Copies of this chain bind each other. A is one copy, B any other.
Amino acid sequence: MLESFSSLVSRYRVIFFDAYGVLKNARGVMQGVPELLSWIIRQGKDVYVITNDASRSPAQMAAAYVHPEHGILIPESKNISSGLLAKDFLRAKVRTGRVAYLGKPSSAFYIESAGLTPVHISSCRATDELAAIALLDDEGFDWYRDINMALNLIRRVTAPVIVANPDLAYPVNDQDVGLAVGSLALMLERIVGKSFIKFGKPDTMMFSHAFACAHENVPDLDKSDILMVGDTLETDILGANTFGLDTALVLSGNTRPDQAKLMIQAKGIMPTFLCESVFT
């Protein structure tokens, strides 16, 4: 039942890729990815990355996919991230003020570029006046001290709380996973009883955004011309299914080859295709 990924490419005009678990792993971009992307682009396909990630700027994301000869393969404008949606929200709805954030210093990009002032959670005081609180990444802060600080800030302020990555966990190697900021957000939501504003798959907004971009390039583009490639049933596949895209689940990340069929049946989330990886 496993399909060859390269044989699928010819059937579509546009390919949406998840990054982590598909093109990247814990050690960076997987070997062979630049050549693969380069080959796909040479077939005339339009390629986008759709990623639940607010820990890197679009420029950093674009710099990851570089071919020795062809240079940057996926420009900033085609790296659509949940961080980008968070930035749009902050600019449109919050507009001005200080935003406390959990994440690496590089996550602050999305706050700064929205015209607001990022304040790393470790520099916050309980009495700070805040325009929003942003849960951006699971790294870059002291969990014990700063998750407790975030909890108390969220209890006290009436500012919106945004989550720029709803993932629960991510693979760090063949055996282990890391706990992602989406899990921390669910825990905090549960304790305080509030609803946070969440950006990222399975919500369909990134797909709408990418579709609108692709549509500008290809005016007669139909959703059936697009293939979404991802490694996670609950985000990549559920979100793209909801948006109406064909989907390929690759088994190089969150979904292990020996559990794929079981998980698909247990969760009732069905990809159109199943591929061992993008290198098949």
Check: A279 CB closer than 8 A to any chain B CB: no
A259 CB, min distance to chain B CBs, angstroms: 10
Of B160, B223, B224, B238, which is within 8 A of A270 by CB?
A: B160
Q: Is the CB of B143 within 8 A of A268?
A: no
**Total copies of this chain within the assembly:** 4
Residue among A92, A190, A212, A246 with max Cβ neighbours from chain B (10 Å): A92
Q: Given contacts A158-B270, A268-B161, is CB(A205)–CB(B243) below 8 Å?
A: yes
Check: A113 CB closer than 8 A to any chain B CB: no
Q: Is the CB of A152 within 8 A of B177?
A: yes
- Bound form: Cα–Cα A143–B192 in Å: 20
- Bound form: Cα–Cα A142–B223 in Å: 37
Q: Is the CB of B266 within 8 A of A193?
A: yes
Q: Among residues 166 to 208 in chain A, which have CB atoms less than 8 Å away from a CB atom of chain B? A: 168-169, 175-179, 183-184, 186-187, 190-199, 203-205, 208
Check: A262 CB closer than 8 A to any chain B CB: yes
- Bound form: Cα–Cα A242–B245 in Å: 22
Which residues of chain B are within 8 angstroms of A262 by Cβ–Cβ distance? Answer: 262
Which residues of chain B are within 8 angstroms of A195 by Cβ–Cβ distance? Answer: 233-234, 238, 267-269
Q: Is the CB of A176 within 8 A of B126?
A: yes
Check: A93 CB closer than 8 A to any chain B CB: yes
Q: Which residue of B lies closest to A144 (CB)?
A: B143
Which residues of chain B are within 8 angstroms of A267 by Cβ–Cβ distance? Answer: 193-195
Q: Which residues of A approach B to under 8 Å, CB–CB? A: 88-89, 92-93, 126, 142-144, 147-148, 151-152, 154-156, 158, 160-161, 168-169, 175-179, 183-184, 186-187, 190-199, 203-205, 208, 212, 223-224, 233-234, 238, 241-246, 262, 265-270
| Sample of 14 more A-B contacts, CB < 8 Å, known A88-B244, A148-B179, A183-B191 | A89-B242, A92-B244, A92-B245, A143-B143, A143-B144, A179-B191, A186-B187, A186-B190, A195-B234, A195-B269, A203-B203, A203-B204, A203-B242, A205-B243
